[in-house]
Amino acid sequence: MLQHFFSPASVAVIGASNQPGKIGHDIVNNMKLSGFEGAIYPINPKATEVLGFKAYPSVTTIEGPVDLAVIVIPARAVLGVMEECAEKGIDSVIIITAGFKEAGPEGIEMEKELGEIARRAGIRVVGPNCLGIISTQTGLNASFAPVFPQRGSLALMSQSGALATAILDWSVQNGIGYSKFVSFGNGLDVGVIDLLRAWEDDPETRVIVAYMEGLRNGPEFMRVAREVSLKKPVIIVKSGNTQSGARAVSSHTGSLAGSGEAYSAAFKQCGVIRAHSVEELFDLAVAFAYQDLPRSRRVAILTNAGGPGIMATDAVETAGLQLATISPETVERLRTTLPPASNFHNPVDCLGDADAARYNFATDVVLSDKNVDSALAVLTPQTSTQPLETAQGLAKFAAQHRKPVLACFMGGGAMAGAIKLLGGQRVPNYAYPERAVKALSTMVAYREWREEPPDEIEPFPADADVVRRIFDEAREQGRVNLGEVEAREILRAYRIRCPKNEVAITADDAARIGDEIGYPVVMKIVSPDILHKSDIGGVRVGIRNRQEAMDTFELMMLRIRRYAPNADLRGIAVQEMIQTGREVILGSTRDPQFGPLVMFGLGGIYVEVLKDVSFRVAPFGRRHAQQMIDEIRSAPLLRGARGERPCDLDAIATTLLILSQLVTDFPEIVEMDINPLKVGEPGAGAMAVDARITITG
């Protein structure tokens, strides 16, 4: 796929120039210097020759076939040249030129036309407004990047050209190698999804890294990213928040879900590894590129310093990795050579005066322990430390034992040579233990994700017709907000349990219903115009007898009429009171990129103040429903920590799954909250005591 972009036999550079400093010059010059062996055709009607290559007035005058065209002429001339490329039968074009979509209405129009020409002629386009493409394997530098990285196993795609030049420059300095590099700019045609597909089975590429700002097709991205992630790690930095539109947000879920949450959820669901900064992107990329995946969570820490050893130990525990138990045989072997004051158990401390021989001996012995599946080697520069020799030994034994080893050689000038040596030997080094542990735990998590069975979607029985009828009715009446009464009917159609409930029109009604349901009961105002009932005194809980029910009816009616004189009051619901259980919130909102997003959190201040919530893109299966519950910080409360009663977590998971099905079945649901869902003890189930739905008009 996209073969001609990465290994063309011939490249035309349209806008080639002899004048240093012009992009059209730099590109031809880069192609010349990078060792590209195919034909290079500079296009420039005013020149006969550019940088030693014969120049042509246009692509149509080239005799032989052209696999790839690179366009660097001013924007207004690009459309005409695209037509010529089409005529010449060129199927791959890189448009470096800026001044399109990013430059205002005229540019938007030109970019649209560009797209039409490309589609009609079957031309694939990278750009416009981009830095270009590099393929180290074929020596192709179809970019104006001032550096050419060494060959390696990372494939990088970037939506930002400027950031990409910085990354390439830094990579060259740090000896980080690439298989392919694409800056796709405005992404008129080729974008994240195409490049994932192109690199999925590329034997040169071990790790795919991406800097991206936005996506066009969320669901398609998730499908492709999942398939690719099962083959090789995909690490993405996503920056910028896309506008979710000017839609007024009326639900909790809507106000808590920025597009950042949708991306995080989507990435988790398709195995994409999210980096939160470019620094983290490379911390992770290098670990995946250089080392094999750890077989388990069991890690050994080697150190010549107490403090950093403890930092590493803390980081290992926080990250959910396991400190490997060093076997008695290994301890015995260590004792033969290490001084008696050493620590022979994890973290294995060879002490500050360890020279390379002692440290390397410990490395070899610890890595041969069958309880150890990976190692973190911490070294600080002390008087007897031999950084270079220690680095050599570390690299040697890491390769010999075929277990992933990450280094943390801490320091500046004293360590520079050793760190360089480690990089050359494909041992990633980190400035601090926390960063090394983060890389290692990400590798473990990725491996575990790959080995998980797929998250099957369970179907639940439901009367979709009931829901359709309610939505139609509301729309006929010109309403998009559905209050508790209608929302209850919808939840029931999807078999979510709700408390007994009946609407009273008179005080006598209220008493009769109260008697039937049995006290205590809850009374709530019913009005399509009132969405937050308790805000205006429209909810009373704990009504103990028929007299109280009657009084409450009169009082509430009076009060609401005063507070909301224009509201259409339909009566007061008398509802079974659910006396025990914890209040949680479940909700859904629609993300412009990914579609329905389901939210979970604890009720009350946990959601309002602490914003302690988790998200998934619907539809999802039970494993993700469980993860949503586990992910919130207050999850231990639900499991029964600190004297709390444990909750029916299965019932929460099932309700999340039903909600996922409901919002998938009905794309017209823009937002909804079940707030609260009252959850009983394990086995007792859950009840939706309030709900609200907003649909499209």
Task: Name the site residues for ligand ADP (rule: CB under 6 A).
Answer: 499, 522, 524, 532-534, 539, 541, 575-578, 583, 675-676, 689-690
Residue whose CB is less far from Mg ion, 198 or 691? 691
Strand partners, 596: 590
Nearer to Mg ion, 648 or 690 (CB): 690
Confirm if 213 and 101 have CB atoms less than 8 A apart: no
Nearest to 69 by CA among 121, 124, 149: 124
575 binds, among Mg ion, ligand ADP, none (CB under 5 to 8 A by kind): ligand ADP
- Which one of Mg ion, ligand ADP, none is in contact with 532 (Cβ closer than 5 to 8 A by kind)? ligand ADP
Task: Among 200, 261, 509, 690, indicate the residue that binds Mg ion (CB under 5 A).
Answer: 690
Q: Whose Cβ is closer to ligand ADP: residue 404's or residue 603's?
A: 603
**Which CB, 141 or 675, lies closer to ligand ADP?**
675
Q: Is 648 in the site for Mg ion (CB under 5 A)?
A: no
Q: Which is nearer to ligand ADP, 482 or 577 (CB)?
A: 577
By DSSP bridging, strand 691-695 and strand 481-482 are: antiparallel
- Report the greatest alpha carbon distance in the chain: 102
Using the minimum distance from each CB to ligand ADP, give the nearer residue, 157 or 578. Answer: 578
Q: Minimum distance between the CB of residue 542 and ligand ADP, rounded to whole angstroms?
A: 9
For residues 283 and 576, which CB has a smaller minimum distance to Mg ion in the complex?
Answer: 576
**Residue 376: which of ligand ADP, Mg ion, none does it interact with, CB under 5 to 8 A by kind?**
none
Whole-number Å distance between alpha carbons of 278 and 289: 16
User: Nearest approach, Cβ of 581 to ligand ADP (angstroms)?
Assistant: 8
CB of 673 to ligand ADP, least distance (A): 8
- Residue 378 binding: pick among Mg ion, ligand ADP, none (C-beta 5-8 Å cut-off by kind): none
Size of site (CB under 5 A) for Mg ion = 2
486 binds, among ligand ADP, Mg ion, none (CB under 5 to 8 A by kind): none
Stretch that binds Mg ion, among 6-14, 222-230, 453-461, 667-675 (CB under 5 A): 667-675
What would the 3-class secondary structure string for 331-366 be?
HHHHHCCCCCCCECCCCEECCCCCCHHHHHHHHHHH
Smallest separation, CB 602 to ligand ADP (Å)? 12
Tokens of 37: 């062996």
What DSSP line would sit under 357-407, residue for residue?
HHHHHHHHHHHT-TT-SEEEEEE---TT--HHHHHHHHHHHHHHHT--EEE
Nearer to Mg ion, 249 or 431 (CB): 249
Of residues 280 and 576, the one with the C-beta less far from ligand ADP: 576
Cβ contacts of 174 within 8 Å, gap of 6 or more: 423
Residue 513 CA to residue 507 CA, distance in Å, equals: 10
Q: Are 90 and 65 in contact (CB under 8 A)?
A: no
Cβ atoms of residues 408 and 252 within 8 Å: no
Q: 539 touches which of Mg ion, ligand ADP, none (CB within 5 to 8 A by kind)? A: ligand ADP
What six digits make up the tokens of 622? 């039970």
User: Which residue matches tokens 């739905």?
Assistant: 693
Q: Which does 132 bind (CB under 5 to 8 A by kind): Mg ion, ligand ADP, none?
A: none
Q: Write out the binding residues for Mg ion, residues 668-687 only, by CB under 5 A.
A: 675
Task: Work out how close the CB of 583 gets to Mg ion at its nearest, in angstroms, rounded to a whole number.
Answer: 9
Whole-angstrom Cα Rg for the chain: 32
What is the dihedral sign for C-alpha 589, 590, 591, 592? negative
Residue 496: CB minimum distance to ligand ADP, A? 14
For ligand ADP, the closer CB: 4 or 678:
678
Q: Please report how close the Cβ of residue 401 comes to Mg ion at its closest, in angstroms.
A: 58
| Distance spanning both ends of the chain, measured CA to CA | 43
524 binds, among Mg ion, ligand ADP, none (CB under 5 to 8 A by kind): ligand ADP
Report the run of H or E that residue 84 belongs to, with start and end.
helix 75-88
Collapsing DSSP to helix, strand or coil, 133 comes out as strand
Interface residues with Mg ion (CB under 5 A) are 675, 690
